[in-house]
Amino acid sequence: VQLQASGGGLVQAGGSLRLSCTVSGTIFDINDMEWYRQVPGKQREWVATYDRRGGTNYQDSVQGRFTISRDNFKKTVYLQMNNLKPEDTAVYYCRAQILLSSELPYNSDYWGQGTLVTVSS
């Protein structure tokens, strides 16, 4: 099972980017899908969650600017980032809670490789 993230890049403040993260491999189901970000030298921080039932939740600093969405058929989660600010500069990681088999009673955590977002002022 692998998560492949893409969509990062360099953008000016006020601009937009859309990140994607796709799950590949043999799985039974996907529960929560999330985005995190990390600035070098700092801890990785949670950004947004799209849960199995369609609920979403955001870190306060991105509320109203970022939108998380999900395509279950494509096994893909997206992060639409608008009105980007220099403080949004970070490596963005996706995370998925995956049920590998119907016979397993627990989810397994998988992370994508990260995609760099740089916002210039």
In tens, the pLDDT along 8-31 reads: 999 999 999 999 999 999 999 999
By the 10 Å C-beta count (0-12 exposed, 13-18 middle, 19+ buried), 54 is classed as exposed
Instruction: Give the pLDDT of residue 102.
Output: 87
In tens, the pLDDT along 69-115 reads: 999 999 999 999 999 999 999 999 999 999 998 888 888 999 999 99
Under a CB-based contact definition with an 8 Å cutoff, are residues 18 and 5 in contact? no
